[in-house]
Chain A
Amino acid sequence: MSVLVYTESDKGKFKKNAFEVASYAYAVAQQLGESVTAVSMNVDDNEILGTYGVSKVLKVSNADLHTFNAKAYANVLAQAAEAEGAKVVIVSSSADTKFLAPILTAKLNAGYVPNVVAAPEGTSPFVVKRTAFSNKGFAHTEISAEIKVVGVSNNAFGAVENPTSASVEDFSPSLGDADFTTKSVEVDKVVGKATIADADIVVSGGRGLKGPENWGMIEELADILGAATACSKPVSDLGWRSHGEHVGQTGKPVASNLYIAIGISGAIQHLAGVSASKTKVVINNDPEAPFFKAADYGIVGDAFEVVPKLIEKLKEFKAQNA
């Protein structure tokens, strides 16, 4: 038997989270005394998964699956789980995967736990630690169903190298018209820029920036750091930035290595949403801003003076470390 893992790709290349979930699957397989089988969709170079402990890759090549389709992808994974006799399926926390995982769960009559932050505490009973209450707490959750679907949080477990030789087999699932009753018409996606979901660094602005016209320095700072840009809830509600940038309890969660909050006071909902970030920096002119209690590093000062200086210093740093 094997632990099945869905290794996501974009335009034929594995995403960063594919290596994280593969690493997680390896940790689970070690506990169970099993091996790891990955499923890839329209990827040619699959051997790289061996680096992260994958022994076998089920390679799916199907023109109908070039564009993500939750129902069809879930059906492929369900068939792969059945073919492998997998009792544990590991998936990521991307928007696409959170779309397909519930469908897969229903098809497999499984127990599903998303937002998992650590390897299972035990496999009998099977207990995992996950975030709950929008990152204000954690739950230790048992999955008692025979088949278990585990959704691993972004940037929580990390990519861990466990060099293994991965064999690649073609896998041809049987799909029909019923799998394609929702159709993608158009995708409007930022290209060549980090997204909040998978960026190592996120630079975020709040109402302290006074208006959308002042976002130039936020974008410049993000560019230098290769970071994604984000914003607080009031900023997106005011229409200064798009909803897609809103991070916090009712927006997107952030689990980056570095989160820089500029002109954000730190409402409890915002702090919850960004709490999974490893290092937090706050720049705010109000020393009483709640964010200072949640941050690792802080500068009390006017963002309009501090940020340009920070950009300058980072440019010097980049030049020295290039």
Chain B
Amino acid sequence: MKILVCISNVPDTTSKINFTEGDTKFDTNGVQFVINPNDEFGLTRAMWFKEKQGATVHVATVGGAQTEPTIRKALAIGADEAIRINAEPTDGFFVARQLAEVVKNGGYDLVIAGRESIDYNGGMVPGILATLLDMNFVNTCIGLEVDDNNATAMREIDGGKEKISTSLPLVIGGQKGLVEESDLRIPNMRGIMMARKKALNVVEPIDAPKPTQDQKFEKPAPKGPVKLVDAENVGELVNLLHNEAKVI
């Protein structure tokens, strides 16, 4: 089985968000970039397929040269090879078209992407990619087993989960649950050394339109001070929620 894990290079979850150039760009100053958490769960599941079922695992990202430390980390965790499409990932459809080209040329059976990146939250790359290539697709995937050509996936739904039966070739939009937080791997020294020797192929993007453009960003309006209620006077909270906030 040949697996492609799609990686997005995102600000660490603890990052404070600021904008620059007249609020038209995300301010990367002082921001630590990491593998998108939803993708990392998928990458770790791919490592399981590699170790238990002999799968080959490649990773791909759409991004500039500044994303290479993140890709190297994926190689250090255990991916066999990496592909970087040399373009700025400013639109989900554009990114999906770039990755579709990689999948088509690479003959992958399974594509694992995160359900969304935690920066731009488009949540569309895996679904568009699957549809462009007429592959099966399962979103918000929290469990995946593959047996020959058959796949059984668990999907998170509102208020529960759903078991889905499908077949390869398959694209999933993954998230926590594919593996547990405690299963995530920190690259060891051997992995980091080996990653240096692994192939990181840079390819130029294909021509593709960008149907959406972020024009301007803003931060949420600052919050007013909290109204404290005495712990001995809990009834006052009920009163405030009913008469002032009008939410109960």
Contacts and interface: CB of A to CB of B under 8 A. Distances in A.
Given A102-B123, A281-B241, A296 B217 contact: no
A261 B203 CA distance: 47
Nearest to B158: A197
A185 B242 CA distance: 44
B33 interface: no
B214 A103 contact: no
B158 A195 contact: yes
Contacts of B176: 243, 246, 250-251
Contacts, number: 265
A130 B214 CA distance: 10
Contacts of A114: 121-124
Central interface residue in A182, A201, A298, by most chain B CB within 10 Å = A182
Contact of B118 (A249, A297, A302): A249
Contacts of A184: 162-164
Contacts of B160: 187-190, 244
Given A114-B122, A243-B176, A297-B226, A107 B163 contact: no
Central interface residue in B118, B181, B223, B247, by most chain A CB within 10 Å = B247
B227 A193 contact: no
Interface in A249-308: 249-251, 257-258, 267-269, 275, 278-279, 281-282, 292-302, 305-306
A185 B163 contact: yes
Interface stretch (A47-55, A91-99, A204-212): A91-99
A19 interface: no
Interface string B8-37: 000101101101000000100000000001
A313 B217 contact: no
Nearest to B132: A106
Contacts of A181: 136, 166-167
A119 interface: no
B46 interface: no
Nearest to A113: B212
Contacts of A140: 214-218
A246 B180 CA distance: 13
A309 B241 contact: no
A144 B121 CA distance: 19
B14 A269 contact: yes
Given A184-B162, A310-B238, 5 more contacts: A99-B139, A137-B218, A141-B213, A183-B165, A190-B160
8 contacts: A102-B139, A133-B120, A139-B120, A181-B167, A243-B156, A250-B38, A295-B226, A299-B231
